[in-house]
């Protein structure tokens, strides 16, 4: 359920913003469209998307249909995508914009998000268990073949509602920094949208650009972000003042510049 305060801002991407009501209705359109295509609860669906509000709609639409999303990084080579498709038994790939690279994935039925708008926007009741899978993300494969790591609905709920010091509130403005094919994105997306906060997306090319990120943090009045230690160091070393209004900064793995 993504509908909390229906008129509150759910997702912001550049000059675009959608409310919780719009997110709820748009994702229901998609869920009903997927069901009409014969997709069953528990079935894996590939998702091919650049960062956008449509990416978020797609995630929730797939989950509302009771299905499992398998995120495809748009930088993955075609061979890796084909491996993931075969390994996870994917028969349908959902895409959110016209991506020509999908033309090489001829073994799957491609579903265009925009086509779902003709379906009903009324939510259906899908019976799924709390231990049902929500998504499957593939490892880098640096020590062998990539492996799909399945995460359940329960895992997401525990992350969102049992977070202690890293809990997000409905007053927060969260930076969506991690690529959706990496597990850091799960904290960004679900800790925001299941708690009534606003989620602020960036262009893919801005993820390592400290100057563009600084602008977004200032202009969007970001209060929570989850980034790498290296990126945190870049902020501290170039313009630490940009971080002064953040309520929480999450990072780990090594010391940051403030302690050096």
The model's confidence at residue 142, banded by pLDDT at 50, 70 and 90, is confident
Would you say residue 91 has pLDDT above 70?
Answer: yes
The model's confidence at residue 126, banded by pLDDT at 50, 70 and 90, is confident
What pLDDT, on the 0 to 100 scale, is given for residue 175?
Answer: 97
Return the SS3 of 87. Answer: helix
List Cβ neighbours of 113 (8 Å cut-off, separation of 6 or more): 30, 54, 57, 58, 61, 94, 95, 96
**What are the CA-CA distances from residue 11 to residues 8, 86, 190 (Å)?**
9, 33, 12
Distance of CA 220 to the CA centre of its chain: 19
What pLDDT, on the 0 to 100 scale, is given for residue 5?
Answer: 77
Decide: 70 and 47 in contact? Cβ < 8 Å. Answer: yes
Q: 37-72: per-residue pLDDT in tens?
A: 999 999 999 999 999 999 999 999 999 999 999 999
**What are the CA-CA distances from residue 123 to residues 37, 108, 112, 213 (Å)?**
16, 27, 20, 36
What pLDDT, on the 0 to 100 scale, is given for residue 101?
Answer: 57
Would you say residue 78 has pLDDT above 50?
Answer: yes
Mean pLDDT, rounded, for 32-41: 95
What pLDDT, on the 0 to 100 scale, is given for residue 259?
Answer: 47
Kindly list the strands in the beta sheet with 109-112, ordered across the sheet, starting from the edge strand earlier in the chain: 109-112, 92-95, 44-48, 68-72, 133-138, 148-152
How far, in Å, CA of 219 to CA of 14, rounded? Answer: 10
End-to-end CA distance of the chain: 44
Would you say residue 254 has pLDDT above 70?
Answer: no
- Averaged pLDDT score across all residues of the chain: 89
What pLDDT, on the 0 to 100 scale, is given for residue 106?
Answer: 65
- Residue closest to 218 by CA, chosen among 200, 233, 231: 200
Mean pLDDT, rounded, for 18-38: 95
Q: 169-226: per-residue pLDDT in tens?
A: 999 999 999 999 999 999 999 999 999 999 999 999 999 999 999 999 999 999 999 9
The model's confidence at residue 146, banded by pLDDT at 50, 70 and 90, is confident
Decide: 243 and 235 in contact? Cβ < 8 Å. Answer: yes
The model's confidence at residue 17, banded by pLDDT at 50, 70 and 90, is very high
Least confident of 25-29, 137-141, 169-173, 189-193: 137-141
Q: What percent of the chain has pLDDT over 90?
A: 65
């Amino acid at each position: 359920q993504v509908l909390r305060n229906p008129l509150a801002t759910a997702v912001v991407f550049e000059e675009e913003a959608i409310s919780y009501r719009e997110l709820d209705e748009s994702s229901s359109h998609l869920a009903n469209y997927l069901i009409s295509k014969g997709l069953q609860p528990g079935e894996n669906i590939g998702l091919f998307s650049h960062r956008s509000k449509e990416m978020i709609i797609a995630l929730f639409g797939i989950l509302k249909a009771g299905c499992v999303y398998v995120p495809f990084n748009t930088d993955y080579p075609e061979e890796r995508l084909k491996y993931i498709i075969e390994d996870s038994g994917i028969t349908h790939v959902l895409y959110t914009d016209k991506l020509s690279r999908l033309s090489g994935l001829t073994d799957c039925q491609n579903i265009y998000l925009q086509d779902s708008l003709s379906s009903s926007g009324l939510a259906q009741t899908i019976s799924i268990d709390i231990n049902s899978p929500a998504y499957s993300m593939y490892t880098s494969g640096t020590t062998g073949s990539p492996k799909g790591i399945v995460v359940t609905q329960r895992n997401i709920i525990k992350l969102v509602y049992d977070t202690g010091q890293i809990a997000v509130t409905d007053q927060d403005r969260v930076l969506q920094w991690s690529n959706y094919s990496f597990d850091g994105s799960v904290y960004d997306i679900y800790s925001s949208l299941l708690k009534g906060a606003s989620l602020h997306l960036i262009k893919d090319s801005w993820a390592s650009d400290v100057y563009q990120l600084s602008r977004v943090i200032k202009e969007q009045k970001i209060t929570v972000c989850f980034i790498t230690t290296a990126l945190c160091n870049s902020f501290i070393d170039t313009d630490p003042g940009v971080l002064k209004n953040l309520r929480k900064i999450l990072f780990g793995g090594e010391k940051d510049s403030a302690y050096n």
